[in-house]
Structure 1
Amino acid sequence: MNAMKRAVAALAAAAALFLAGCSSGGPAEDDASPSPTGKGKVSDIRGITLPAWNADDYKRPEAATYLRQIAATGAGWVTFTPTWYQDRVTDPAMRVTDETAADDSLRHIIGLAHEAGLKTMIKPHVDLVKGGDRAEIRPADPDAWFGAYTRFLTHYARLAAATGAEQFSVGTELAGTSRDGTRWRKAVAAVREVYHGPLTYAANYDEYRNIPFWDALDVIGIDAYWPLGDRPTTDTARLRRAWQPITDELAAFSAAHHRKILFTEAGYVSQRGTTTAPFSWTVSEKPATDEQAAAYEALLAALDGKEWWAGVCWWMWDDWPDTGETAKRLAYTPHGKPAEKVLRKWWGKSSPSGD
């Protein structure tokens, strides 16, 4: 999510109108229509994101446990998010910091994921050192920024190719740059020179209609944080009705662009009001695991069986010990909460893992 570790997402609360390790409601398969340009298929992705906040998170002892827990929900995919940072939204380049997952740690956890039977998506992020919304990044020198960004992308694309990562995202919620189709197409072409799997871009729910380069990618990626109402609710039927105009629009968008749509992120904190602002880490201080679970149920039920839907990658599994700034009882993780039971129901895993 664009508010990685420190930032509180502050996206416009627009009305509800909206690839790797992620979910749809039918049988657990990986069959799909052929990807238009990349090798591989993108469909019925069901999985969970495991972000990193520090250089060695992906090599921590908990890594293997987290992956077993993710697989035990019935997920088939896991997404990893190595992140580079820039100080200001106008900077000409991004850089590694001590919060960037080290390459050896990323290689390590991809190997562990494959051992656990999970497919992987690498989804590199760019964030701001002092927090804030990455959608506000608007470089003063676009040529310099895109040159640096292409080097950033191809670094991870080579790593993805070397480790056998099954899918790659060329960006996440960079709305301040994503209308620049010419420069983005060049960046995508550079990635394709070194990585031959399916490619996506993770557009925010209020950004995806403005992306001019979907035809250069294999699947449309959307971070699906639409508000589903103006007041908290645990009424699953009401939440499903809120999805109806969104899914109608997405069906038409998919048909117009001849691409399936993957929810590259979707998630809800276990706080009262999360359905009114799914993008917020701090919508309230009142725990509401029942509202989180209702939101999970409504999304999976509303999207189940949609032929244009490639799946969902939930944000997110547990934080690493001593790194999360949101208490687990209030955080996005479904682990150990009713939302995990919802995942198991839809993904075919009925009993807890015990981890």
Structure 2
Amino acid sequence: MTVTSLVIALPLVIGNHPLRWESGSLKPLLVMGDSASGKGERRGSGNTVLADPKGPEPDAKPQAALKVSKQWQPGMPEWGVQVFWEDKKEHSDEYIEKKAREQADYLVGLNANSAAVSFPFYTEGRTSTKLMAGKNTPTPEHLSIVLRVFHDAGLRTTVRPIMDEAALTPPEGWRGNIKPADKTAWFTSYEMLLTPYLDAAQKEQASTFVVGTELNSMESAPGWKPLIASAEKLFKGEVAYDANWDNYVRGRIDVPINRLGVDAYFPVKVPDEASVDQLVAGWNTWLDKKTKGPLPRIILSEAGIAAMDGAYQLPGDFYTKRKTNPAVQANWYTAVCKVVEQRKMAGVYWWSIYFDSDPKAAPTDTASGLDFAGRPATEAAIRSCFGSSYAGPGTAPSP
């Protein structure tokens, strides 16, 4: 997206989801809640400047992906990364495969054993009952290519469609605040949207399919039961739901699934110089609001923070620009990993890397503060976490 006129962009925070809007209109500069960015350039939701939409010409002989040395098995921790992907229909199969191999190599180099593929789908508004694939939604065929490459690299794979927020207007402009006029019609539309992606996930042996992410206002709806039953007929892996951190600590997530993820952006009110132990204590204070002790069935489906001053107090602020502080991000990652081990959680997925980006390139001045690829201190923290001796929670019983 190119902005040619003077734009005044102001942050608006809804829950832990800041939004920004053009002055004098309700046109969003940022379209993906947790992962979007609005600058003057044409950008992806991972806040990474996009390359030529057709992509670079693929190498004549693409290199085979590196292989995970110790593949995930039930009971082991999932050490993963969220790969956010805004596909372009003009991207060739060869380009998709090349980028998937590039990202798989990077993840294996971080000692990851898991990868989640997150991508947008669309709605027409807060009360709309229509859900659809859009301009940046990958086709099931392209998704199959990525899952196949990741699987060949030995990575455990998760498929995670996320509602795009471009059509949601303030002050309720967040996916967690939708109020469809007809919930039955909404779930019918959603099932039709998900079906070909469930088929692709089954075909490519994905381990998990996330049927909903951060849909706070919909969590008690009766439509989940038939939707999940339909999904389980098509997909034989785990069917999951990812809750936002605020709803998680407030009470029961009323979605009938066996696997619950938490998008975890718990604010911790400590100075930038805080120790890792102080950060761990801050996280445990939040988790204790839900329950004390081990959490073997909980996966941190998103965790991350900006590499900048002041980020501890609002880790979900994806847009405010402050002085770069790599230690803030690295210490946060180290602390979260310790929490996963102490509470015997099922694992963590860091938010995020952008599918079309070069993960080996250092972050630019226009990159999201949450970008960790190319930040040596954070990458070292991830390798240490993923290479730890934590054996995992074991096989937890179903609820």
TM-score (norm: length of structure 2): 0.71
- 1:38 is aligned to none
The answer on whether the counterparts of 1:91 and 1:139 sit within 8 Å (CA) in structure 2 is yes
Paired-residue identity, %: 23
AA aligned opposite 2:107 = I
The answer on whether the counterparts of 2:124 and 2:130 sit within 8 Å (CA) in structure 1 is no
C-alpha spacing 1:101/1:253, structure 2 compared with 1 (3 Å): farther
Matched, 1:297 2:297: no
C-alpha spacing 1:92/1:31, structure 2 compared with 1 (3 Å): closer
The answer on whether the counterparts of 2:198 and 2:234 sit within 8 Å (CA) in structure 1 is yes
From 269, 276, 284, give the equivalent of 2:321.
284
Alignment deviations for residues 307-328 of structure 1 (CA, whole Å, 9 cap, x no partner):
3x11111110245249x99833
Secondary structure of the residue that 1:54 maps to in structure 2? coil
AA aligned opposite 2:379 = E
Say which is worse superposed, 234-243 or 327-336, in terms of deviation: 327-336
- 2:245 is aligned to 205
The answer on whether the counterparts of 2:319 and 2:368 sit within 8 Å (CA) in structure 1 is no
C-alpha spacing 1:29/1:160, structure 2 compared with 1 (3 Å): closer
From 261, 283, 286, give the equivalent of 1:243.
283
Matched, 1:6 2:30: yes
| Residue 337 of structure 1, CA deviation | 3.1
| Residue 254 of structure 1, CA deviation | 7.4
- 1:102 is aligned to 139
AA aligned opposite 2:200 = L
The answer on whether the counterparts of 1:272 and 1:286 sit within 8 Å (CA) in structure 2 is yes
From 62, 68, 82, give the equivalent of 1:49.
82
Secondary structure of the residue that 1:223 maps to in structure 2? strand
C-alpha spacing 1:329/1:151, structure 2 compared with 1 (3 Å): closer
Matched, 1:127 2:164: yes
| Residue 28 of structure 1, CA deviation | 7.5
Kindly name which structure, 1 or 2, has the bigger radius of gyration based on alpha carbons: 2
AA aligned opposite 2:384 = K
C-alpha spacing 1:196/1:298, structure 2 compared with 1 (3 Å): same
- 1:347 is aligned to 386
Alignment deviations for residues 97-143 of structure 1 (CA, whole Å, 9 cap, x no partner):
11112222211111110121111000111122346421121111111
| Residue 238 of structure 1, CA deviation | 1.4
From 286, 296, 317, give the equivalent of 2:353.
317
Structure with more contact order per residue of length (Cα contacts < 8 Å, sep ≥ 6): 1
C-alpha spacing 1:104/1:148, structure 2 compared with 1 (3 Å): same
The answer on whether the counterparts of 1:2 and 1:173 sit within 8 Å (CA) in structure 2 is no
- 2:40 is aligned to none
C-alpha spacing 1:31/1:80, structure 2 compared with 1 (3 Å): same
Once the two structures are superposed, the pairs formed by residues 36-185 of structure 1 within 5 Å of their partners are 43-55=76-88, 59=96, 61-130=98-167, 132-180=173-221, 182-185=222-225
Measured on the aligned residues, the alpha-carbon RMSD in Å equals: 2.9
Distance, in Å, in 2 between the alignment partners of 1:325 and 1:2 is 23
Secondary structure of the residue that 1:228 maps to in structure 2? coil
Secondary structure of the residue that 2:236 maps to in structure 1? coil
Distance, in Å, in 2 between the alignment partners of 1:249 and 1:225 is 15
AA aligned opposite 1:81 = S
| Residue 340 of structure 1, CA deviation | 0.8
C-alpha spacing 1:210/1:310, structure 2 compared with 1 (3 Å): same
Alignment deviations for residues 67-105 of structure 1 (CA, whole Å, 9 cap, x no partner):
100111011010011321113111111112111122222
C-alpha spacing 1:165/1:105, structure 2 compared with 1 (3 Å): same
Distance, in Å, in 1 between the alignment partners of 2:368 and 2:178 is 32
| Residue 63 of structure 1, CA deviation | 2.5
Aligned pairs, how many?
Answer: 315
Distance, in Å, in 2 between the alignment partners of 1:109 and 1:129 is 25
| Residue 176 of structure 1, CA deviation | 1.7
The answer on whether the counterparts of 1:80 and 1:123 sit within 8 Å (CA) in structure 2 is yes
Could you tell me which runs of 5 or more consecutive residues in structure 2 were left unpaired when the two chains were aligned.
Answer: 1-15, 20-28, 35-69, 389-399
C-alpha spacing 1:117/1:299, structure 2 compared with 1 (3 Å): same
AA aligned opposite 1:126 = M
C-alpha spacing 1:115/1:319, structure 2 compared with 1 (3 Å): closer
| Residue 248 of structure 1, CA deviation | 3.0
The answer on whether the counterparts of 1:204 and 1:223 sit within 8 Å (CA) in structure 2 is yes
- 1:15 is aligned to none
Distance, in Å, in 2 between the alignment partners of 1:66 and 1:150 is 30
C-alpha spacing 1:121/1:329, structure 2 compared with 1 (3 Å): closer
Could you tell me which runs of 5 or more consecutive residues in structure 1 were left unpaired when the two chains were aligned.
Answer: 11-26, 33-42, 350-355
C-alpha spacing 1:7/1:288, structure 2 compared with 1 (3 Å): farther
C-alpha spacing 1:330/1:212, structure 2 compared with 1 (3 Å): closer
Secondary structure of the residue that 1:333 maps to in structure 2? coil
Alignment deviations for residues 17-71 of structure 1 (CA, whole Å, 9 cap, x no partner):
xxxxxxxxxx985332xxxxxxxxxx51110011112335781633311110011
The answer on whether the counterparts of 1:201 and 1:221 sit within 8 Å (CA) in structure 2 is yes
Distance, in Å, in 2 between the alignment partners of 1:94 and 1:3 is 23
